[in-house]
Amino acid sequence: MKKFIKIILLTPLVLILAALVILSVKYSPTYVYRLITQNVADVYDYQKYENRVIKGSEDTFQFAKRLDEKYVESLFQDRVLSTGFKTFDEWAEKSQTTALIFIRKDTILYEKYFNGFSRDSYFHSQSMAKSFISFLIGAAIDDGFISDVNDPMTLYIPELKERNSDFEKITIKNLLEMRSGLKYNTSYIPGTYTHAPWHDEAVGYYHPNVRKLLLKKVDIAREPGKTFEYNNYNTSYLGLIIERATNKTVSEYLEEKLWSKIMTQDALFSIDSKKSGFEYMPSRLIARAVDYARFGRLFLNEGNWDDRQIISKDWVKRSTREDKSIPREIYPDWLGGENCAHTYYSYQWWGNTNCDSTFEFFANGNLGQQIYVISDKEIIIVHCGNSLEYYGESDLMRAADCIRYYDFHKSILDNGVEEAINQYREKKKQDPGYQPFDEHFLMQKGYTLLDAGRVEDAKQLFALNVETYPGSWSVYNNLAEAYQKSGEPDSARIFYNKSLELKPENNWATEKLMMLE
């Protein structure tokens, strides 16, 4: 019996050891060691790897400074409210924000560093690095090293077609748009939110020879161009194409085409290992926060830096604008469907559309790294951090909404919801064209208040949305949910049913009505 118990106890250990041996053979012992010792990626990972130095420039441009810290911090009060903190500083500390820079018309209105970081600190880009790799593809096209985004990837990596001829169907454009169809394992350990050891995000991140991985292991799952899947191998292949086309390391080419021209300080790019010497393209560029802002300025000005065209205007437009010819149904639901306000993806840049035909674009990285550009307002916001617990990837989009509708936002902060609505009605009488909000803004404001327990305030904003946009099915859902939360099921049923009248296939309202029954 004792022997049987000992065997039972040893079985999990044996299985774990066997799994580690298999992973070591399949990938490498270094991969397994990194996976075990580094576990979850964070913004200090670059300190554990070899890094190439990218030299800065002697460019004399500096942002002017005219601080308006109260204004900028007010843009984040909804976030402070929704997380339950009392002050902006408390939120900045608890959210593990490390830098926040706000620039309007080349003037810094806000620049603060938190949680032990300073202006001279290195800030891990995470996936913001993807937008820099995209920049280099554009630079290589400008230089004639790459002829066109419609080139097949095998024109630069011909050995791939020997392994699978379908690689010839994948274009550089497919890689840029995350529409390549490359196979990407996204499995998790059952019952947890932890990546399985063979999850490709982990494999690509910890592997000591990513170039070999790309050439020998990564394969194709589906036809290119038909679906969207956020896949780090797309960016790694772009880096390999840059390396092959230019006959330079990505770090060398990035220094030549960008850093030596406009950046203030040196940067780092982590490599997978000293032996392989391949930069981890999707996320391990390390720079100063103010240089991220300078990159944002370059794209805000359509590639022009004080009368020098650093990258072609056409490339900036194609990289950051929405391609409306791409069917929206290929994207996941969280990208916003057909609504006039939705998120889109271009050439390794994200974007948000607004219902007034304006848009914002941004470089986005895990743990709160963002370069957010509001082009029509000439605004650049840089946020860096080390957690997504109290900071969300949509927070700068919310701040952008507050900028666009600042009068109403400030009126709510200063006077409360009821008085803000009363003031709006008075101004509307005097000027029928006065409209200090849109449907999306009121919805977000309402849910912030609802989540913070201010149900009556949320109901007032949702009711204003119904009054202003009576043809929109979603505004009735919002108001119904507020009534449901306040314990008024009869009123909730009325508005859920109204939503169904406008959109019979509205599953949200159908499910809520079944719950109420």
pLDDT score of 233 more than 90? yes
The domains found in the chain, sorted by start residue, are: 2-57+126-287 (3.40.710.10), 64-124+289-391 (3.40.710.10), 403-516 (1.25.40.10)
- Give percent above pLDDT 90 in the chain: 83
The amino acid sitting at 437 is: F
Better-predicted residue by pLDDT, 406 or 333: 406
Q: Range with the lowest mean pLDDT among 2-6, 18-22, 397-401, 458-462?
A: 2-6
Give per-residue pLDDT as tens, 296-318: 999 999 999 999 999 999 999 99
pLDDT score of 138 more than 80? yes
**What local confidence, expressed as pLDDT, does residue 75 receive?**
98
Count the Cβ atoms, other than its own, within 10 Å of residue 462.
Answer: 27
| Structure tokens, 431 | 């000027």
User: CA end-to-end span of the chain, whole Å?
Assistant: 56
Angle at 125 between CA 216 and CA 335, to 5 degrees: 80
**What local confidence, expressed as pLDDT, does residue 3 receive?**
55
Give per-residue pLDDT as tens, 241-297: 999 999 999 999 999 999 999 999 999 999 999 999 999 999 999 999 999 999 999
Cα distance between residue 458 and residue 406, in whole Å: 18
- The set of residues, in sequence order, having a beta carbon less than 8 Å from that of 111 and lying 6+ positions away, is 65, 67, 100, 101, 102, 119, 290
Nearest to 511 by CA among 469, 477, 479, 485: 477
**What local confidence, expressed as pLDDT, does residue 32 receive?**
87
Q: What is the mean pLDDT of the chain?
A: 93
pLDDT interval class at 10 (50, 70, 90): very low
Angle at 456 between CA 453 and CA 459, to 5 degrees: 110
Residue 160 CB burial class (10 angstroms; 0-12, 13-18, ≥19): buried
Q: Where are the alpha helices (DSSP H) in 383-488?
A: 395-404, 406-415, 417-430, 439-451, 455-468, 473-485
Q: Range with the lowest mean pLDDT among 32-41, 130-139, 225-234, 408-417?
A: 32-41
Specify the pTM. Answer: 0.94
For strands 107-113 and 64-65, give the pairing: parallel
